[in-house]
C-alpha cells in the first residue's frame, strides 16, 4: 500500500482518530485518572465534583461532533477532585442525532487514550421498577442493548485490543458499585434498557421491557459501556430517574421534567460522584 492510501485509511479509522485526540489531550492537560460522562440533568453535579481547571469545546479535538439537544453542553473539562484528575465530558452524542456507534463512543476511547482506567457513565432515565421515584440515583447492575448496534462492528480494532468479542459478564464493575453504595446507601440498583429513541416508549413497549427484566429505560450508555469494556476500563453506570416510564403513571413525558429532576438531585448525585472518585 502507498504511504498516502495507508495514511488516508488511518485517518478514517475511529480507533486511530481517538488515539490521536487522546494524545493531544494528554499533551495539553496531562494524564487523567478517571473519566465522567455527564448525562442530561447531571449538570448541577459539577459544583460538588471539584475544581474545574480547564475546559474547551469537545469539537476542539479530532473526531468529536457538535451535540444538538438543548441541555447537552458538548465540552470537555479537566477537574481536580482531591488527589484525582477527572476528565469530564459535559454532554454526549446520541444515536438519535444520526451519529454512528463509533461517534457515540469516541469520548470513551479518547478518555482511555488519555490515561483513564475507569469511567463513570451517567444518564437520565425513565423508571420502570415501581420502587423507583423521580430524583433517585440508580446504579446500573447490567444492561440490555436494544439498539441493535455495536461500537465494535466495522474496522478491526488495533493491537493491543484486536479481539473484539468482548466479554460482558460484568459490564458494570461490582467493585465500583460497592464503593458507590458505601457513599450513598440509599441509591437504587437495576438493569438499564438502552434504546435508540428519540421517541419515548409506548405503554406496551414498557410492559415488554418490564417482562424482559429491565428496571430503567434510556437512550444512551450501552454502547459506551461496551466500548469501555473492550478497552479494559472499569465502568460505573448511574441513572438519575427523572420520570416514570410510559403508561406506569398518569403523567405524560416531557424533556422539561428531565431537566427539573436533575436540578433537584444535583447536590446528591454530585456528592455521590465525588465520594466514589475519592475512594477509587
Ligand atoms: I430522562 O422514559 C428519560 N430518557 N427511552 N424512555 C427512554 N428514554 C428516557 C426516558 C424514557 N426518560
pLDDT at 262: 62
- What domains does the chain contain, in order, with CATH numbers? 3-279 (3.40.50.1580)
Distances, alpha carbon 279 to alpha carbons 125, 238, 276, in Å: 26, 16, 5
Residue 222 near ligand 1, beta carbon < 6 Å: no
In 128-267, DSSP assigns E strands to 137-145, 188-194, 216-218, 234-244
Report d(CA 20, CA 121) in Å as an integer: 22
- Find, among 56, 53, 49, 94, the residue nearest to 76 by Cα: 56
**Residue 77: helix, strand or coil by DSSP?**
strand
Judge whether 4 and 11 are in contact, CB under 8 Å. Answer: no
Q: Choosing from 45, 113, 124, 171, which is the catalytic residue?
A: 124
Provide the grid cell at 31: 494524564
For 34-63, give one letter per residue: b (16+ CB within 10 A) or e.
bbbbbbbbbbbbbebbbebeeeeebeebbb
Task: Specify which residues 76 forms β-bridges with.
Answer: 56, 89
Judge whether 76 and 88 are in contact, CB under 8 Å. Answer: yes
Residue 220 is among the residues annotated as catalytic for this protein:
yes
Provide the grid cell at 202: 409506548
Residue 201 near ligand 1, beta carbon < 6 Å: yes
**126 CA to centre of ligand 1 in angstroms:** 4
pLDDT digit string (tens) for the chain, length 280 residues: 456 666 666 667 999 999 999 999 999 999 999 999 998 878 888 888 999 999 999 988 999 976 555 544 489 999 999 999 999 999 888 999 889 999 999 999 999 999 999 999 999 999 999 999 888 999 999 999 999 999 999 989 998 988 999 999 999 999 999 999 999 999 999 999 999 999 999 999 999 999 999 999 999 999 999 999 999 999 999 999 988 888 788 766 666 766 666 666 778 899 999 999 999 9
Amino acid at each position: 500500500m502507498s504511504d498516502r492510501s495507508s495514511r488516508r485509511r488511518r485517518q478514517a479509522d475511529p480507533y486511530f482518530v481517538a488515539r490521536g485526540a487522546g494524545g493531544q489531550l494528554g499533551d495539553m492537560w496531562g494524564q487523567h485518572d478517571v473519566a465522567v460522562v455527564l448525562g442530561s440533568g447531571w449538570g448541577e453535579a459539577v459544583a460538588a465534583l471539584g475544581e474545574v481547571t480547564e475546559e474547551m469545546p469537545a469539537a476542539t479535538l479530532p473526531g468529536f461532533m457538535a451535540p444538538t439537544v438543548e441541555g447537552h453542553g458538548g465540552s470537555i473539562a479537566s477537574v481536580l477532585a482531591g488527589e484525582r484528575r477527572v476528565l469530564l465530558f459535559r454532554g454526549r452524542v446520541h444515536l438519535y442525532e444520526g451519529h454512528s456507534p463509533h461517534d457515540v463512543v469516541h469520548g470513551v476511547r479518547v478518555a482511555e487514550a488519555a490515561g483513564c482506567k475507569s469511567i463513570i457513565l451517567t444518564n437520565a432515565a425513565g423508571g420502570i421498577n415501581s420502587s423507583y421515584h423521580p430524583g433517585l440515583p440508580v446504579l446500573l447492575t447490567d444492561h440490555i442493548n436494544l439498539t441493535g448496534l455495536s461500537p465494535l462492528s466495522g474496522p478491526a480494532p488495533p493491537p493491543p485490543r484486536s479481539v473484539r468479542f468482548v466479554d460482558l459478564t460484568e459490564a458494570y464493575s461490582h467493585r465500583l458499585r460497592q464503593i458507590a453504595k458505601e457513599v450513598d446507601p440509599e441509591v437504587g440498583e437495576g438493569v438499564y434498557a438502552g434504546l435508540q429513541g428519540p421517541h419515548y416508549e409506548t405503554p406496551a413497549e414498557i410492559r415488554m421491557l418490564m417482562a424482559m427484566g429491565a428496571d430503567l429505560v434510556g437512550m444512551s450508555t450501552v454502547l459506551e459501556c461496551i466500548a469501555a469494556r473492550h478497552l479494559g476500563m472499569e465502568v460505573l453506570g448511574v441513572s438519575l430517574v427523572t420520570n416514570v416510564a410510559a403508561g406506569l403513571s398518569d403523567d405524560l413525558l416531557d424533556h422539561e421534567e428531565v431537566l427539573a429532576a436533575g436540578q433537584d438531585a444535583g447536590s446528591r448525585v454530585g456528592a455521590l460522584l465525588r465520594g466514589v472518585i475519592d475512594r477509587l
